Amino acid sequence: MRQNHLIIGLGGTGGKILRAFKKTILQEFRTEKPDKVNIEYLYVDSSSEMMALDDPSWKILGKSVQLGKHQQLLIQGANLSAQLESINNFPGIKSWIGSKEQWRDILNSIVGEVLGGQKRRLGRFLFACKVKEFRQQVQNLVRELQQKGSTSITFHICSGLAGGTGSGSLIDVLSQIREMYPDSRMHRIIVYTLLPDTHPKPNWDTGNYHANGYAGLMELNSFSVGAWQPHDITGNKDRLKLQDPFNGCYLFYNENENGLSVDVSKDIPSIVADFLYQKLVAVDELSWSTLSRMENAENGDELRLYVPILGVIENLRVAPVST
């Protein structure tokens, strides 16, 4: 029976990985639906820049591989100021949002549509306002996959750690998926995260670039070992006490151990997309038994007193890292 995979891209980095992956599929099969595996997609972002149906950047071989509306979630449009003024009506936000005074400068600096930028808490705020829509879209996509294959699903979550949208929403995305699908053997969650590059391009670092990456890794670490139980942003519970919140995490970076660097915006998405293609689609022709054992934590400590970081993707080279 064919395997089911749902690839979720968060923020700009996640969206670019989805775009590159779909282009690879079309190049290899001349169709967006390969026979060997069932794959669905969901792109979550606070910017609509890459979501237009006529966006030419999604075209390859004369065809667009743009995602459908049911595969996109734009986390814009919420009246954040009004929600802060009546915060008692939003229990999923009230417990962690902080004081109105802390938000005054942030909200006053917003011009036009709200974007996550490099403010992680703002990214979380935006995602929390759309969490019900996120859960519904995930459930719909999972049902579509299960109708075609087995009931088991592997979720692949792709995100950068330097920005606000992806880094700010990552933990809540993981916790909401695991809350909906608690069986970590039937419903595996693998994370793919881009670390901030040491020397970002001009105007990329607006003050939180590297701090966001550090905070994102700290959260993943604490979340993994159960030291941190995140608030339930749906408001249905106080905190989510989850077993095996995610099965493993890949870290990727724009420079490998030989000092070879690649472009974060142009090359990294294609590298990660190629890695995903080899894992999900071309796996029948490959012998990846070691990788499979690592992802299933066959040799892991049952107490899980470690960060489940599986490897560092370096220009299509996977190198295990000690944790």
Most distant CA pair in the chain, distance: 57
- Tokens standing for residue 147: 């109708």
Token couple for 134: 């996120």
What is the C-alpha to C-alpha distance for residues 191 and 309, in angstroms, rounded to an integer? 9
State if pTM tops 0.85: yes
Return d(Cα 162, Cα 265) in angstroms, integer: 13
Domain boundaries, the chain: 15-151+164-319
> Would you tell me the crossing angle of helices 165-180 and 120-129 to the nearest 10 degrees?
40
Contact 175, 242 (CB under 8 A): yes
Instruction: State whether residue 26 is helix, strand or coil.
Output: helix
CB burial class (10 A; 0-12, 13-18, 19+) of residue 102?
A: exposed
| Residue 292 confidence (pLDDT) | 61
| Residues in the chain, pLDDT under 50 | 299-323
DSSP three-state, residue 273: helix
Confidence (pLDDT) at 322: 31
Alpha-carbon distance of 115 to 199, in angstroms, equals 23
Name 258's Cβ contacts closer than 8 Å, sequence gap at least 6: none
Alpha-carbon gap, residue 260 to 274, rounded angstroms:
18
> Any idea how long the chain is?
323
Q: What is the pLDDT of residue 130?
A: 96
Distances (CA, A) of 321 to 156, 158, 296: 20, 19, 16
Q: CA 18, CA 224: separation in Å to the nearest integer?
A: 25
CB 147 within 8 A of CB 181: no
Share of the chain above pLDDT 90, in %: 59
- Rounded to whole angstroms, the Cα distance separating 35 from 156 reads 19
- Which residues, including other chains, have CB under 8 Å from residue 113's CB and lie 6 or more apart? 47, 48, 76, 77
Q: CB–CB of 165/116 below 8 Å? A: yes
- Integer Cα distance of 157 and 148 in angstroms: 21
pLDDT of residue 115: 62
